[in-house]
Structure 1
Amino acid sequence: MKWYSFIFTVIFSLFLMITPAYAEKMGKAAKPPVKVPSSVMNIAKENTYPNSTQDQPYLQPSDFTKQLLKSSNVKIENPDLIRIFNESNINKSPFSIGLRATIFLGLWPLNYESAETSPNWEYQKINTNYFDNRGGRTNYQFHYVQESQKVIKGGLTAKIPNSEDVKKMMLIKAMDNTNLPLSFDTIVGAGTKKDQIYNIPPKRLGYLYAYAPAVNEKGKVTYGEVYLVLKGTKRIITVKNVTSQGIGAWIPVQDHVSFGFAATERPR
């Protein structure tokens, strides 16, 4: 019985030590989606300008690419570099036993590590609906109508090499972290409406402000010189001169509008 008691104590102690670590690991891996305020509404159906759906620019690596990525001494997530590997093929041959070659593929942004993803629901003001009910005796009801077409653009907060590749990797991480439809460019068409009613009391002026929301993504991008090394039947990736650089970006939320309503006695 003493042995059973001893074994149970050891197993229970290990469980207590492993569980917090596992929970912490799972907490980092699975981030909850961003909570959207009630003032933010989806206008995908009402938008008079049909924005194209922005899919995450992630490529599924081929079996050959997977082998190359595993051999790399630095993590590679760049979709364009993965595409090059997917489109490449090097056949193994018994005559390649003595083969030795190093092929320079260039300087590439290899991966992006997200440090912070935070939404700004009033990133850019895009519209103001107004009505003067100072002479009225009852509430006046009105709703959102987009007066003119608005183009909302995001972008990186600093100049950086291979910026388009970096933007794609940042977009992937931001979409994963927020579960929001993000795009660096989105448009709200003129005449877009929403049925939500806002009441302007008598003797008041009513202002309905519309804002385009966006996500502020911050993190670190890693660069390196990529070499394809051939040694007999082996094919491996080697990365040299690795550097890292901090970077941020604003990425608009597609087909979403944040509203703010105010009823005042004096004009604003």
Structure 2
Amino acid sequence: MKKLIFISLVLLFSFSVSHASYAEGKQKQIKIPNTVMEITKENTYPNPTQDLPYLQPSDFTQSLIDTSDVPIENPDLIRILNESTISDAPLAIGYRATIYLGEWALNYQSTETATNWEYQKINTNFQDNRGGKGPIQMHYKQEAQKSVKGGLTAKVPEAEHVKKMMLLKAMKKTNLPLSFETIIGAGTKADQIYNVQPKKLGYLYAYAPAVNEKGKVTYGEVYLVLKGNKKSIVVKNVTSQGIGAWIPIQDHVSFGFVTADNPK
């Protein structure tokens, strides 16, 4: 449906490609615990860098956005507007047109950003020193490749657009490398030493951390209104919905070391 809408826009607009950056949200200082290690260099699986474009509205797009009563932050909608131009017509007096651009997820407002450093267990290393006479050392070694996925906590319309807006906000607020999927490769190691005393069993647990993002997404039907040489955006049938998401922290591992007298 949206494709048909944009085809009709071609009759009125000329398009030009624009690349820029878009960002919003206050940065939140996240204190990383000593038990958490970055493994970008050690990871045997090279995760692609999650580098979403921060689309900056063009002057024309910004002038349109400023006419809307509802904030517009969706990068995909901004991209469409950035690629559009409308030439002023000298004889446009009395000209009127209303163009339906579709129903969009318009913006996401973050209300809470929290971190779970033990979001998902990814590995367990074990050392038995019950028969030893002195302490023995153990290290972290990833036994098998592990994929850690996040996602939205509920089904919502335009889910991919919502995920993108939530990811952009969470990355800006936390300044952490976030991605809805991260992979820890088999054989990944760390140099940190853990000592297992005599007559003890040692367990080294590894966890993938994640950010829990919560907030509200706003939807609306977007119309481009032309009256003479005046151009504006009108949003109708506005609705809002609460939403949450788990977003893994890429190339980070949280460790928990415990000893026991008997097997766990």
> Does 2:256 correspond to 1:264?
no
Superposed displacement of residue 30, structure 1: 4.5
Aligned identity (percent) is 71
8 Å CA contact retained: 2:36, 2:253: yes
One of 87, 91, 94 as aligned partner of 1:91: 87
**Structure 2 SS opposite 1:243:** strand
For 2:217, the equivalent position in structure 1 comes to: 221
**Which residue does the alignment assign to 1:150?**
146
The secondary structure found in structure 1 opposite 2:162 is helix
The answer as to 2:137 corresponding to 1:174 is no
1:251 maps to a residue whose letter is I
Residues 206, 255 of structure 2: 8 Å contact kept: yes
Q: Distance in 2 between matches of 1:164 and 1:250?
A: 14
Letter in 1 for 2:77: L
| Alpha carbons 2:67, 2:232 under 8 Å: kept | yes
What SS class does the counterpart of residue 193 from structure 2 fall into? strand
Give me the whole-angstrom Cα distance separating, in 1, the residues matched to 2:199 and 2:59.
70
CA deviation after TM superposition for structure 1 residue 96, in Å: 2.3
Compute the displacement of 1:178 (Å). Answer: 1.3
**For each residue in 1:85-106, what CA deviation from the matched residue of structure 2 results, as whole angstroms up to 9, or x when unmatched?**
0111111121323320000001
2:74 is the alignment partner of 1:111 = no
Aligned-partner SS, 1:128: strand
Instruction: Report the CA distance between 1:64 and its aligned residue.
Output: 1.0
Residues 1:74 and 2:44 aligned together: no
8 Å CA contact 1:57, 1:168 repeated in 2:
no
Q: How does 1:15-164 map to 2 (within 5 A)?
A: 30-164=26-160
> Which digits, 9 at most, give the CA deviation of each residue in 1:188-207, with x for residues without a partner?
01111111111011111110
- Output the aligned Cα RMSD: 1.1
Counterparts of 2:83 and 2:161, CA distance in 1:
18
Deviation at 1:32, TM superposition (A): 3.4
List alignment gaps of at least 5 residues for structure 2. 1-24
What is the aligned partner in structure 2 of residue 14 from structure 1? Answer: none
Count the aligned residue pairs: 240
Q: Which has the larger radius of gyration?
A: 1
Task: Say which of 222, 243, 253 aligns to 2:249.
Answer: 253
Structure 1 residue 31, shift from structure 2 partner: 4.5
> Where does residue 179 of structure 2 map in the other structure?
183
CA distance in 1, matches of 2:84, 2:26: 34
Structure 1 residue 250: Cα displacement: 0.4
1:47 is matched by which residue type in structure 2?
Answer: N
| Matches of 1:218 and 1:255, distance apart in 2 | 23
- Corresponding residue for 1:19? none
Structure that is richer in helix per residue: 1
